[in-house]
A and B are shown apart, each in its own frame.
Chain A
Amino acid sequence: GENVEQHPSTLSVQEGDSAVIKCTYSDSASNYFPWYKQELGKRPQLIIDIRSNVGEKKDQRIAVTLNKTAKHFSLHITETQPEDSAVYFCAASISGTASKLTFGTGTRLQVTL
């Protein structure tokens, strides 16, 4: 089955700096890659996703890049703010009726003042 590895497990940045979280996947057939943000005690919420037919997607301060050849994808957060502090999860799946998301182990991002 699919295996998703995520690094780093913790990341501390100063407010205003950029943060990058990286994930690799094992199944070359995977074609859907969402990123979820989970604040303490809350549910995971989708912040951005990308499909394998594009290499990059942006949404304001958040961007995701995908390298299909190397089977890795990354989340980039620019101009970080204290409210960006949370745990971020990457995931991968093969699109379809019964597709199953496989999650990475998460990155705890701390944005310090």
Chain B
Amino acid sequence: NAGVTQTPKFQVLKTGQSMTLQCAQDMNHEYMSWYRQDPGMGLRLIHYSVGAGITDQGEVPNGYNVSRSTTEDFPLRLLSAAPSQTSVYFCASRRVAGQETQYFGPGTRLLVL
């Protein structure tokens, strides 16, 4: 199993540009989520999904959109990038029932100029 994968690894955007961060998992996990990590602030939840067709907001959802059309994929969209969105983004997944171990992807480093 590849686990949780993310693309791209690194991206530079200009203010106002849009892009999609890709996340995929091959563990048949129902629950997927996106976090951003900023220095001194830990990991903050952006959006999450408990299954295909179901998404909800986390702690810091503004400026981000998500959709979940399949169990495997959970893309994160930035519609109009802002410098405040410069961060490292982690996707994670876990099973809904039983063991709650959350597995993280390798991360995407985003720089918005």
Answer whether residue A53 sits at the interface, using C-beta atoms and an 8 A cutoff: no
Answer whether residue B2 sits at the interface, using C-beta atoms and an 8 A cutoff: no
**B11-19, B44-52, B71-79: which one contacts chain A?**
B44-52
- Report the minimal beta-carbon distance from A98 to chain B, rounded to whole angstroms: 5
Q: In which size bucket is the chain A interface?
A: 20 to 34
Assess whether B56 is in contact with A98, with CB atoms less than 8 Å apart. Answer: yes
Question: How many chain B residues touch A (Cβ–Cβ < 8 Å)?
Answer: 25
Tell me which residues across on chain A come within 8 A of B44, comparing CB atoms. Answer: 103
Assess whether A98 is in contact with B50, with CB atoms less than 8 Å apart. Answer: yes
Assess whether A103 is in contact with B42, with CB atoms less than 8 Å apart. Answer: yes
The answer to whether residues A49 and B101 also contact, given A43-B90, A105-B40 and a CB cut-off of 8 A, is yes
CB contact list, B31-79 vs A, under 8 A:
31, 33, 35, 40-45, 48, 50, 56, 58-59
Report which A residues bind B (CB closer than 8 A): 1, 6, 9, 32, 34, 42-46, 49, 89, 93, 95, 97-106
